[in-house]
Amino acid sequence: MGNTTVVIGVIGADVHAVGNRIIDYALRQADFNVVNLGVMVSQKEFVDAAIETKASAIFVSSLYGQGELDCRGFGDYCKEAGLNNVLLYVGGNLVIGKSEFAPVEAKFKAMGFHRVYPPGSDIAIGIEDLKADLGLGK
Amino acid sequence: MGNTTVVIGVIGADVHAVGNRIIDYALRQADFNVVNLGVMVSQKEFVDAAIETKASAIFVSSLYGQGELDCRGFGDYCKEAGLNNVLLYVGGNLVIGKSEFAPVEAKFKAMGFHRVYPPGSDIAIGIEDLKADLGLGK
Amino acid sequence: MINKKMPLNEFMALREEVLKQWVTGKEVDLSEAIAYQKAIKESKRFSFKLNQAVNDKVTLIQPRAGVALPHEHKKLLKVLQDEGGADLLPTTIDSYTRHNRYLEAQTGIDESIRTGKSLLNGFPAVNHGVGVCRDIVEYLDVPLQVRHGTPDARLLAEITLAGGFTSFEGGGISYNIPYGKNNSLEKTITDWQYVDRLVGYYEEQGITINREPFGPLTGTLVPPCISHSVAILESLLAAQQGCKCITVGYGQCGNQIQDIAAIRTLELLTKDYLNRFGYGDVRITTVFHQWMGGFPQDEAKAYAVIAWGAATAVLSGATKVIVKSPHEAFGVPTAEANANGLKTTKQLTAMLKDQVAFENPLIKEEMSIIEEETRCIMEAVLNLGNYDFGLSALRGFEAGLIDVPFAPAQCNANKALPARDNSGAVRFLDFGNLPFNDKLKDFHRKKLKERADTERRDVSFQMVIDDIYAVSKGHLVGRPR
Amino acid sequence: MINKKMPLNEFMALREEVLKQWVTGKEVDLSEAIAYQKAIKESKRFSFKLNQAVNDKVTLIQPRAGVALPHEHKKLLKVLQDEGGADLLPTTIDSYTRHNRYLEAQTGIDESIRTGKSLLNGFPAVNHGVGVCRDIVEYLDVPLQVRHGTPDARLLAEITLAGGFTSFEGGGISYNIPYGKNNSLEKTITDWQYVDRLVGYYEEQGITINREPFGPLTGTLVPPCISHSVAILESLLAAQQGCKCITVGYGQCGNQIQDIAAIRTLELLTKDYLNRFGYGDVRITTVFHQWMGGFPQDEAKAYAVIAWGAATAVLSGATKVIVKSPHEAFGVPTAEANANGLKTTKQLTAMLKDQVAFENPLIKEEMSIIEEETRCIMEAVLNLGNYDFGLSALRGFEAGLIDVPFAPAQCNANKALPARDNSGAVRFLDFGNLPFNDKLKDFHRKKLKERADTERRDVSFQMVIDDIYAVSKGHLVGRPR
Ligand code: B12
Ligand code: B12
């Protein structure tokens, strides 16, 4: 998988850096190329990086609760930029407050994300899903 | 109130002695005559003591959860024994498990109790009610 | 009461009688029961798990739980095991069974079936019998203990041990004084010698059954020296009948220094007395009971009390901790509430297990106080009873040399009165006839005077009342407000 | 950055600029604001309540809380005050405001009105302005503090202090390093000198505003010496601008010995450095933050973590404790969940307040370690900056002499790496450029080797990852499983 690139980052005005660091580490351990934009990443920065590095997937994190505002229109924006084949995953504490996950998932899928992860998800699961979606063997 | 007698005790196979001791103390402080039957008191013992001491009220405690079984028919039994004018109060942890109080109150009123108290009730309230029900001034 | 191991033939003769007390008694076949117990694997034996915990330096967690009907009871215990992460499971017995009122227990069972909810506050094991017990034990993955409060538990012991339980709580003193009104202490001690002899018999056959005197007694401001004395006496009585695996207990008082000192001295003193009388081969472990007095009604506050108990249990080095639930102030907890208490506790037993135990001059000081108090009581009591353990207990209670606060039993003197000192440790406000020396008495008086001065009031019964309510109202010391 | 109290005329000139940053700036009239603050009664002033707590030897409790809309925010705070029993109240600011993105904050407000739920993670005080702040402060009975994470908080401070808040959290370092990415440390320190100067100005007019550097930083395995160094530097910077009432903070690491030692040394060292530079008249209090890292999702387990934090806060003698909620792992708590965290905490602050603080050789030992580490850092940093506090901070971070683990800020070296030792205390696995002497380095290495040996694996980054997850998975030390 050394030639498969994943762009990762934490969207919006969000500065939660710990999960990002672990996702970076875990993807590299799983032999992916990682482009880590760090925290406080705008939609444009995600898209620009994905284009530039010919990424296969974008892992968006949002922890601080304002992800609903920050992620709006992300799918369309990616499409407009021609990123039709890039997988869009999002995870973290996506909305404000403790809430049922199903409606949250629906909301973010409607924004164009292919996979949506609930709070505190094990990143290993995201990586498994990625391999499956990309048709990469274990 | 020195000539008003209250019979108190803990009904059934119940051995919770602490509340009983405090009720005893509080009633005496409020200047009532107290006949304390202690713990593990049967319906018969309550009634016999009330007859013998010409009590104005019986304070039944039940803490251990089996009060529902122990108190059945208490009102009728008192009536049969001629204790028509004796006030019947019951308090403690009357049923098994944490539950809404209203149905519990209804259930024990149906058994003939005039007043029913929820878990951990301040005994001062019971004494105020007693004075009011007996028409005794503060 | 006897003052030696009960001879086998006498014991066997007595068994005939006991097994007749209720119809299910005839289900017990001792040699078949021994064979059944032998087949229970180690990981489901109390004694094994306790040893493991001692070696691993962890504190095991155990709930209380019991409902009227077998399938409900199984479901309940399963939740506590799987969701709650209980290391050890209980079967709490209902109050009718505790008073040998098997007929009323039967009504309770029938009514529970009829109404579809448990109308008993525990599991009526005698009525259900040996087969049902085994079914329950087999259904679960961790060891099970019988927890009750039964003055005469002979039949209950026969049935549940044949039923596969590997631990049995109680004792002739600790299941009399807090749990009954008119029971003769002589009779309850005698009846519990039977239970201990039964356990001793299993031991002779190579089956270790764990025995656990009930530590917290009335759960209400019981100073450590009182519960320690009872624990030591019951351990001696049990050891005399051949029990080899005993867990001594203590109910949290709330001041961490006193609580840690209590668990440490409990173990040291019990071992010391067992050694002295030639029972050095008995394995002693400890159990810490989370706060046994009145709980706050608010669940968030109840969680605080539970967590504080869990933390103190671990830091005291107790082998296991008995867990309360956030429903405590209201009633028998739902499976979920009970599991929640376990989860809170497990989070802390796990988080704190790597932390070095506190070494602290205050703990040392408190330990020497508790030790001196307990020795004062034990020596006076043993003297009075000519070193016959049962007789010593009997005469000791008669004379008020041991005196359990707020006990319902008429054989208890009920003269001693406890109250908290200024830092929340439980002291004596009235010594009754406790055989304390002047130095100890001065210590207690000084401690209570300190508090009285702080509160600008006299030392009085009002303090005791305030202390009884304090924890449920959000404090430890019941200050005037 | 300057290295003296900012001259009044310069400050006043700067204010003109700052107040123009958003339309609500023009609502601030400083002399009217002083008059308004003067009329606030003592019991609603932070400084007064903190003094009282020190005198009464109690630990005050304070939640975090903030929602987008004023009436909702009032309702929320009222619940926390009345139901939760909060002694001190916060107003947590939303993340757009923290980044001075007032336009986006406005969108958040509008959307929140439209959808009927708060879409912001805090209260956008700048957008709402002075009048709304006063309305909130007046509605409540206890003092209010602004809590945020704003690198440039000048306008926020102007508006909220004129709005009647009596305490302001943050600092040029502690609200940069964990809370931003590209902010120049020079700029944030300069901007916070403005905030401190504003507070100093109020002080000159007889109004004490409490200042609180943000202690926990990234909340993730931050060893005490790191957060202590930041707290001391920010206290010096604040004192230089005329602040007289400072609360230094620390985020619970989880090992009780280390946590108690941390709070004690934090107070001692801060006072010592303030004295040394002539600010002996500044009143220092302490704040203990309940576990700031990843929480368990299960609420019963979260309660355990909260309670353990509460207990440690009290036993450490902290002046106040910042409280988490059982919803922590999921999201901003409901008012009820937040109140529950408070109730759990209050039960323990009240139950433990009478207990004698632990005196313990292990605590002494840990204190001397923390003191030595902190002095190593502080002396190196002050030297490098020629005893100019701002410059020292700047150069210290540049050189990695102070290095905050897991910080997002590019001006942080991010070379030092923490991991827990065998008893759960947080140590360094990689020192980066921390100016530790060999003795200290040996100590840390020895401690981590002990753990590695126990776990039969090498000291490595995997340990760090395991430790990051540990508490949320029910442990303190992240052992291999
Ligand atoms: C201490 C205690 C014990 C001690 C009792 C020692 C003793 N002999 O007194 C011990 C450990 C021995 C014990 C044993 C048992 N207990 Co218990 N015990 C408690 C506990 C923790 C406190 C009780 C107490 O002393 N409170 C303090 C006093 C001052 O308050 P009080 O008793 O509520 O009384 C006051 C008021 O209720 C009111 N009041 C009471 N009666 C009346 C009547 C009137 C008319 C009025 C106006 C007011 C009034 O005034 C009193 C004075 O303020 C409670 C739970 C709790 N409350 O936190 C459980 C509790 C009562 N016990 C319970 C149970 C189930 C048992 C056992 C079956 C336990 C077991 N599982 O092993 C046995 C029962 C034995 C028996 N046969 O009775 C349950 C009852 C369950 C239910 N109702 O659903 C409780 C609620 C715990 C629980 N949540 O499971 N217990
Ligand atoms: C540590 C922490 C902080 C630190 C962050 C330090 C730093 N710069 O990194 C500090 C104290 C600075 C902080 C600040 C704030 N925080 Co904060 N913080 C936390 C906390 C306690 C832990 C986060 C963490 O590090 N977890 C450990 C890592 C390993 O896990 P993780 O981040 O969840 O990431 C993992 C998974 O989620 C998953 N994952 C994440 N993204 C993705 C994406 C994909 C595609 C996949 C597959 C998986 C995946 O994999 C990751 C690795 O395992 C959480 C609550 C919690 N979880 O217990 C709150 C929390 C995230 N914070 C919160 C808030 C509100 C804030 C503040 C606004 C706080 C405030 N009120 O002051 C500010 C925001 C500042 C900002 N502009 O962003 C809220 C968010 C609320 C919501 N969503 O409703 C939380 C949930 C707390 C709460 N309940 O209120 N915080």
Ligand 1 mean position to A6 CA, how many Å? Answer: 61
Q: Is D476 helix (H, G, I), strand (E, B) or coil?
A: coil
Q: What b/e readout covers B56-83, taking b as 16+ CB neighbours within 10 angstroms?
A: bbbbbbbbbbbbbbbbeebbebbeebeb
What is the overall mean pLDDT for chain D?
Answer: 97
Residue B122 annotated as catalytic: no
> What confidence tens digit (pLDDT) does each residue in C142-201 have?
999 999 999 999 999 999 999 999 999 999 999 999 999 999 999 999 999 999 999 999
DSSP designation for B86? -
How close does chain B come to C273, measured CA to CA in Å?
A: 31
Contact B80, B24 (CB under 8 A): no
Question: What tokens does C21 get?
Answer: 């007390």
Using alpha carbons, select from B45, B43, B44 the residue that is nearest to residue B35. Answer: B45
> Which pLDDT band, with edges at 50, 70 and 90, does C359 fall under?
confident
Secondary structure element (H or E) that encloses residue B133, with its range: helix B123-134
Contact C58, C353 (CB under 8 A): yes
Q: Residues with Cβ < 8 Å from C481, sequence gap 6 or more?
A: none
Spatial distance between the Cα atoms of C324 and C322, rounded to a whole number of angstroms: 7
D8-355 CATH, one of 3.40.630.30, 1.10.287.130, 3.20.20.240, 3.40.30.10: 3.20.20.240
Contact D221, D464 (CB under 8 A): yes
Spatial distance between the Cα atoms of D464 and D478, rounded to a whole number of angstroms: 8
The model's pTM is 0.97
Question: What tokens does B34 get?
Answer: 């107290």
Q: Average pLDDT, stretch D454-478?
A: 96
What is the overall mean pLDDT for chain C?
Answer: 97
Question: CB of B5 closer than 6 A to ligand 1?
Answer: no
Residue B108's Cα: distance from chain center in Å? Answer: 11
DSSP designation for D418? E
CATH number of B5-128: 3.40.50.280
Rg (CA), chain C: 21
Contact D290, D305 (CB under 8 A): yes
Burial of C5 (0-12, 13-18, 19+ CB in 10 A): middle
DSSP designation for A11? B
Where do the structural domains in chain B lie, given as residue ranges?
5-128
Question: What tokens does D395 get?
Answer: 């150069």
Specify whether the backbone of C365 is left (phi greater than 0), alpha (psi in -120 to 50) or beta.
Answer: alpha
Dihedral angle, C-alpha D242, D243, D244, D248, nearest 10 °: -140
Contact D90, D145 (CB under 8 A): yes
> What confidence tens digit (pLDDT) does each residue in C448-474 have?
999 999 999 999 999 999 999 999 999
Cβ distance B13 to C121 less than 8 Å, yes or no, reads: no
pLDDT at D356 over 80: no
Portion of chain C with pLDDT greater than 90, in percent: 97
Task: Label each residue of chain C as H, E or C.
Answer: CCCCCCCHHHHHHHHHHHHCCCHHHHHCCHHHHHHHHHCCCHHHCHHHHHHHHHHHCCCEEECCCCCCCHHHHHHHHHHHHHCCCCCCEEEECCHHHHCCCHHHHHHHHHHHHHHCCCCCCCCCHHHHHHHHHHHHHHHCCCCEEEECCCCCCHHHHHHHHHCCCCEEECCCCCCCCCCCCCCCHHHHHHHHHHHHHHHHHHHHCCCCCEEECCCCCCCCCCCHHHHHHHHHHHHHHHHHCCCCEEEEEEECCCCHHHHHHHHHHHHHHHHHHHHHCCCCCCEEEEEEECCCCCCCCCHHHHHHHHHHHHHHHHHHCCCEEECCCCCCCCCCCCHHHHHHHHHHHHHHHHHHCCCCCCCCHHHHHHHHHHHHHHHHHHHHHHHHCCCCHHHHHHHHHHCCCCCCCCCCCCCCCCCCEEEECCCCCEEEEECCCCCCCHHHHHHHHHHHHHHHHHHCCCCCHHHHHHHHHHHHHCCCCCCCC
Provide the terminal-to-terminal Cα distance of chain C, rounded to the nearest Å: 50
Dihedral angle, C-alpha C101, C105, C111, C116, nearest 10 °: 160
> Which pLDDT band, with edges at 50, 70 and 90, does C481 fall under?
confident
Question: What tokens does D293 get?
Answer: 């890292």
For residue D148, which ligand has an atom nearest its CA?
2
Spatial distance between the Cα atoms of C147 and C164, rounded to a whole number of angstroms: 14
DSSP designation for D164? T
- In sequence order, what are the beta bridge partners of C417? C430
pLDDT at D369 over 90: yes
Q: Do chains D and C touch (3 or more CB pairs under 8 A)?
A: yes
Spatial distance between the Cα atoms of C415 and C402, rounded to a whole number of angstroms: 10
Residue C381's Cα: distance from chain center in Å? Answer: 21
- Crossing angle of helices D335-352 and C299-316, in 10° steps, is 50
Spatial distance between the Cα atoms of B93 and B105, rounded to a whole number of angstroms: 12
Closest residue in C to B38 (Cα) is: C408
Say which of C95, C118, C294 has its CB closest to residue B64.
Answer: C95
Say which of C254, C341, C360 has its CB closest to residue D359.
Answer: C360
Q: Which of A8, A16, A117, A121 to mutate to test the pocket of ligand 2 (most atoms within 8 A of CB)?
A: A16
Q: Residues with Cβ < 8 Å from D65, sequence gap 6 or more?
A: D73, D76, D77, D80, D89, D90, D91, D92, D333, D335, D338
Portion of chain C with pLDDT greater than 70, in percent: 100
Question: What tokens does D292 get?
Answer: 């700031």
Q: Average pLDDT, stretch A38-50?
A: 97
What is the overall mean pLDDT for chain B?
Answer: 95
How close does chain C come to D163, measured CA to CA in Å?
A: 33
Cβ distance B64 to C327 less than 8 Å, yes or no, reads: no
Question: What tokens does D481 get?
Answer: 């499983």
Q: Residues with Cβ < 8 Å from D104, sequence gap 6 or more?
A: A13, A69, D96
How close does chain C come to D53, measured CA to CA in Å?
A: 17
Q: Residues with Cβ < 8 Å from B103, sequence gap 6 or more?
A: none
Using alpha carbons, select from C464, C420, C460, C396 the residue that is nearest to residue C177. Answer: C396
The reported pLDDT for the residue numbered D481 is 82
Residues of C in contact with B120 (CB under 8 A): 294, 297, 329, 472
Contact C65, C77 (CB under 8 A): yes
3-state DSSP percent of chain A in helix, strand and coil, to 5? 40, 20, 40
> What confidence tens digit (pLDDT) does each residue in D19-43 have?
999 999 999 999 999 999 999 999 9
Residue D398 annotated as catalytic: no
Q: Residues with Cβ < 8 Å from C190, sequence gap 6 or more?
A: C1, C2, C172, C390
Closest residue in C to D359 (Cα) is: C360
> Which pLDDT band, with edges at 50, 70 and 90, does A117 fall under?
very high
The reported pLDDT for the residue numbered A1 is 59
Distances (CA, A) of C140 to C76, C78, C158: 11, 7, 21
> Which pLDDT band, with edges at 50, 70 and 90, does D315 fall under?
very high
Portion of chain D with pLDDT greater than 90, in percent: 97
Ligand 2 mean position to D291 CA, how many Å? Answer: 13
Q: Is D192's Cβ below 8 Å from some Cβ in C?
A: no
pLDDT at D358 over 90: no
Task: Please indicate whether residue C359 or residue B107 has the higher confidence score (pLDDT).
Answer: B107
Cβ distance C300 to D343 less than 8 Å, yes or no, reads: yes
